[in-house]
Structure 1
């Protein structure tokens, strides 16, 4: 069974041989092939080579286009500085003014960094021959709005000027949908939505202001025939009622959340991924402890489930630790939620 088949069948709750492995790799992948983060984030050929090499070496079932949160931001007019040992740095075009006319209109096929991601997906499609799931990526409406306004400004806006915040998020939503559809057209079977800033707001603000925009993005992606993965770093326990109404197919679960509670909230139809602590559990763990933690997470989450850490695999993680994370897990090990 190929990684792609395994991945799709788990989402559809059909029989599979082992639990799919979908760790998030960025700086780790770049360094694994002797490159660096600057090259990984700026050159799709490096990103593709790094992810494919890691998939082949560690037994990963998905290749990803994630690199940093500033693809769309650059399209809107930000200036990007690449850093060899860290994520790119970006300016914030609306940091000093609430004037949407200051923003450029991103075109996924003409905006340099957005088009670079599209080319990555096309290259995956060409090279992997459907052996792996291909993950596209967009920023969620709140995350992109925060990138444009700067985080502290955006959080104040949510309280002081919610009307502007919604207008800005709706503006970001249009670009997010266009970018997602372009990636789907290029071969992505799944689109990840990164909306980490949402973990910092109250349930009321999330459900009244942010969740409606996310829901429109999810609907547009699914209408285009792709699966949707939501990634909100941090504690999302207080947001679960709103998240459960989004209609996503896959939910990343960070290490500070209880997988059992998340499963209860999300029901049996959503694939849960995670939720080992990337630092304490993976970077500094031992292979045996990591594998035992994978088994524990799977038992707590039940099917459908993907093996993953709570977030990105850290740079410097020993190879044997990532191999332990990706060590095949039989479905027979989960008896709590037998849905596959």
Structure 2
């Protein structure tokens, strides 16, 4: 087994500042998967700051996660505004009731106070303790929703898509309101000293011209707020095939773009690699969930070969969130693949007859 020469915090700091690193970083962020370490319900990771912290500490010890944190993504801001959220035992929370049915509903809304609304205070308490417990070793990151995703949670995605066509000014008001709500949370969280990442899965559902009008200016402003508060550029993830949107995404000012498996990593490198670092993009379901450790090693090496020389850098990771039922041996295989095939100078050949790669 290869041994790291840097802590994840040291590595990511050097990575972001274009300094020498020991190996390619691995974005091992198991998300809801780690609920098994602290309880028998995914909701344990959302409704108790103590359980959030405990799960992250356990995940660092058991799975060697490369960053820790929690945040209001994807529906936490909308819940704080007033939407109702369901917390299943074995699945990701989801919104059951949207709060904006008409313009009158929208006009009655107020920007939520982070310490008094929804789960935001639980999140802030957990981040504060994570900084104390793990902050010297790991980046502590609060993942925040993009403005279009929050707007779709407030209005309902079908209604918002109709608004884009039939009532664009109303849609922009909701998106702008969503942005301001998120920034209010960020202002409070930044006082703790956390970093931020952005996830805006709904953004890939609209065409490139709509992206330019209804997503780009708001997303760029959100990124700029992150930079103003933390002096660092955030990671940005947008689900789906964003190939036609790569140029616009790079122009948001984000520092790292997390690419879905549907995007060719080498093509992304060639188009935007001088502007932004790349992250990804092993298939979460076909490979991480359903594949073997050997298959993960093979796919990880392919990703590294395509993007290790990206001018702004490359982080090995999944194309989206890790499925809850991922075999734990596959998690170990992903991290060890980064250690084995991502060392500088890059070297190492995979023996296809191996059953495992660690």
Q: TM-score, normalised by structure 2?
A: 0.88
- Provide the rounded CA distance (Å) in 2 between the counterparts of 1:102 and 1:223: 30
Per-residue deviation, 1:153: 0.6
Instruction: State which structure, 1 or 2, has the greater radius of gyration over its C-alpha atoms.
Output: 2
Q: Give yes or no for contact 1:68–1:88 (8 Å, CA) kept in 2.
A: no
Shift of 1:208: 1.6
Matched, 1:219 2:218: no
Could you list the runs of 5+ residues in structure 2 that have no partner in the other structure? 1-5, 348-358
SS in 1 for 2:93: strand
1:280-299 matches, cutoff 5 A: 280-299=286-305
Query: What is the DSSP-based 3-state SS (H/G/I as helix, E as strand, rest coil) of the residue aligned with 2:57?
Result: helix
Poorly superposed stretches of 4+, deviation over 3 Å: 32-35, 95-99
- After alignment, is 208-217 or 21-30 more displaced? 21-30
Structure 1, 19-28 or 150-159: larger mean CA deviation: 19-28
Is contact 1:138–1:179 with CA below 8 Å preserved after alignment?
no
RMSD: 1.9
The answer to whether the 8 Å contact 1:40/1:67 transfers is no
Q: Is the 8 A contact 2:72 2:120 kept in 1?
A: no
Q: How many residues in Structure 1 have an aligned counterpart in Structure 2?
A: 334
Structure 1 unaligned residues grouped into runs of 5+: 335-340
Q: Does 1:115 align with 2:142?
A: no
Tell me if 1:94 matches 2:96: no
Q: Which of 150, 154, 179 is matched with 1:148 structurally? A: 154
5 Å matches for 1:1-340? 1-66=6-71, 68-90=73-95, 91-97=97-103, 99-189=105-195, 191-224=196-229, 225-302=231-308, 303=310, 304-327=313-336, 328=339, 329-333=342-346
Shift of 1:297: 0.7
Deviations 1:91-124 (A, max 9, x none): 2101355642232421112213112211121111
Partners of 2:42 and 2:131 lie apart in 1 by 23
Whole-angstrom distance in 2 between the partners of 1:22 and 1:270: 16
Residue 66 of structure 1: CA displacement? 4.5
